[in-house]
Amino acid sequence: MPSSDCLFCRIISGEIPATKVYEDDTLVAFNDISPQAPMHALIVPREHVATLNDLGEKHDAIVGAMIRRAAAIASERGYAVSGYRTVFNCNADAGQAVFHIHLHVLGGRKMGWPPG
């Protein structure tokens, strides 16, 4: 259920503006407000799910669609061959700041490993 306290629910509903790059019945993708690479999009399910720990079997198709959408966005922007990174942060040690699951899709520069 949408939460009026959740930033990404408010972006999904259009209450808060964002540059949306894709949307369908289950997913919305928009550019990160503070991009960490030339491409930095966030892919979110329309359903409010706070963290990866809250996913159930019923979400398997949505998560699969999120990952395939990340590949499609990267491909559209020309990064399929050069490469790109996808990241889900979960809870404090990973630096999760918005508690509505989101898949980061970053590309257009060489990424370091291990991540900071």
The residue ranges that bind ligand 5GP (CB under 6 A) are 7, 18, 30, 32-34, 42, 89, 95-98
Peptide bond into 17 cis (omega under 30): no
Residues 30-49 close enough to bind Zn ion by CB under 5 A: 48
Q: Select the binding partner of residue 84 from Zn ion, ligand 5GP, none (C-beta < 5 to 8 A, by kind).
A: none
Any contact of residue 100 with Zn ion (CB under 5 A)? yes
Cβ proximity to Zn ion, 6 vs 63, nearer residue: 6
Q: Is 83 left (phi over 0), alpha (psi -120 to 50) or beta?
A: left
Cβ proximity to Zn ion, 85 vs 100, nearer residue: 100
| 100 given a catalytic annotation | no
DSSP 44-101: EESS---SGGG--GGGHHHHHHHHHHHHHHHHHTT-TTT-EEEE---HHHHT--SSS-
The residue ranges that bind Zn ion (CB under 5 A) are 3, 6, 8-9, 48, 100
Which residues are designated catalytic? Answer: 102
